[in-house]
Amino acid sequence: MQVQVVDYQSPDAPEQFVKSLRETGFGVLVNHPIKQEVVESIYKNWYEFFTSDEKQQYAFDPEKQDGYFAPEISEVAKGHTKKDIKEYYHVYPWGRIPASLKDEIMAYYELASNLATELLDWVETHSPAEVAAKYSEPLSNMIKDTPNTLLRVLHYPPLKGDEEPGAIRAAAHEDINLLTILPAANEPGLQVKLNDGTWSDVPCDFGNLIINIGDMLQEVTGGYFPSTSHRVINPTGKGSENSRISLPLFLHPRDEVVLSERHTQRTYLDERLKELGVK
Ligand SMILES: O=C(O)CCC(=O)C(=O)O
Ligand SMILES: [Fe+2]
């Protein structure tokens, strides 16, 4: 099955959306509550931030994980050896945020987190009883008042031709969290690995809202909802001259939330951050 594009306003949206998640790890919503003008304005304002020197004042804090991650310290995806070609900023409500960008990005953080609550309810409603029986608390409750949900503003710079051979914008990886909410970026490149092992473009019309499953939801559901591999490939031709900005919101439960018999959110997250080499 390919990733489905679902009209958020249609009566069977919850069912269709959860089916797509279950079968591909991804679902795409159109006609959703996140306004495109808001996303466009965020892309524009953060592009200016990434192309200014101001970012150097916000170097990330290895303990707290907020702030600016420069290309030199950018992630090496699990199981890979080359760094991704990207820089990014981690926004947390309690973290450092440049004053001129704060109100807009926090309004987005709230809006997307509220929508996320609804989407987790959709997932819960359409979970088989034996899967839902494993949930230590309702899924949407797991993120209630959480300080851990992370909004990452990503900038993939234009390619200059001197990149490390074999490096790509984002090497194949799975997300760590429950669900990821991702407005379509301003440039293409996002691909998902299908069940048959082939890579497929995620429908990325500007205005689409892409949602994918992370490892924590897979853990909570005993594998019923799969966290699928995805990547961002390098542009070719004229596209190489363009920056790509994207804005994933990674939903993370509160620290003490029990994911499974072996993990709370905190034990799981710390293990994964060490593997990524950022902790
Ligand atoms: O930039 C994108 O479209 C996806 C980014 C992503 O998968 C991630 O940061 O985990
Ligand atoms: Fe990802």
The 10 Å Cβ neighbour count of residue 238 is 7
Residue 264 has pLDDT above 80, yes or no: yes
Each residue's pLDDT tens digit, 237-252: 999 999 999 999 999 9
For residue 11, with 0-12 CB atoms within 10 Å meaning exposed, 13-18 middle and 19 or more buried, which class applies?
exposed
The residue whose CA is least distant from atom 3 of ligand 1 is 190
Residue 6 Cα to ligand 2 middle (Å): 21
Which ligand 1 atom minimizes the distance to the CA of 152?
A: 9
In the chain, the amino acid numbered 231 is R
Torsion over CA of 10, 185, 151 and 191, rounded to 10 degrees?
A: 80
Residue 276 has pLDDT above 80, yes or no: no
Residue 170 Cα to ligand 1 middle (Å): 7
Would you state the pLDDT for residue 279? 64
> What is the average pLDDT score of the chain?
95
Would you state the pLDDT for residue 81? 79
CB 46 within 8 A of CB 65: no
Give residue limits of the domains in the chain: 5-276
Each residue's pLDDT tens digit, 175-187: 999 999 999 999 9
Distance between CA atoms of 204 and 212, rounded to whole angstroms?
Answer: 13
pLDDT tier at 11, thresholds 50, 70, 90 = very high
Distance between CA atoms of 88 and 255, rounded to whole angstroms?
Answer: 24
Each residue's pLDDT tens digit, 142-164: 999 999 999 999 999 999 988 88
Q: Residue 43: nearest ligand to its CA?
A: 1
Region 249-258 average pLDDT? 98
Residue 80 has pLDDT above 90, yes or no: no
Q: Which of 69, 187, 216, 246 to mutate to test the pocket of ligand 1 (most atoms within 8 A of CB)?
A: 246
Which ligand 1 atom minimizes the distance to the CA of 156?
A: 1
Distance between CA atoms of 252 and 277, rounded to whole angstroms?
Answer: 19
Residue 190 Cα to ligand 2 middle (Å): 9
CB 88 within 8 A of CB 71: no
In the chain, the amino acid numbered 160 is K
Each residue's pLDDT tens digit, 208-235: 999 999 999 999 999 999 999 999 999 9
Which ligand 1 atom minimizes the distance to the CA of 154?
A: 1
Residue 33 has pLDDT above 90, yes or no: yes
The residue whose CA is least distant from atom 9 of ligand 1 is 248
Which residues surround ligand 1 with Cβ inside 6 Å?
152, 154, 170, 175, 182, 185, 190, 230, 232, 246, 248
Is the backbone of residue 220 left (phi > 0), alpha (psi -120 to 50) or beta? Answer: alpha
Which ligand 1 atom minimizes the distance to the CA of 190?
A: 3
The residue whose CA is least distant from atom 10 of ligand 1 is 175
Would you state the pLDDT for residue 223? 96
Q: Which of 50, 87, 182, 229 to mutate to test the pocket of ligand 1 (most atoms within 8 A of CB)?
A: 182
Cα 105 to chain centroid distance, Å, stands at: 15
CATH class of 5-276: mainly beta
Region 27-56 average pLDDT? 97
Each residue's pLDDT tens digit, 59-72: 999 889 999 999 98
pLDDT tier at 26, thresholds 50, 70, 90 = very high
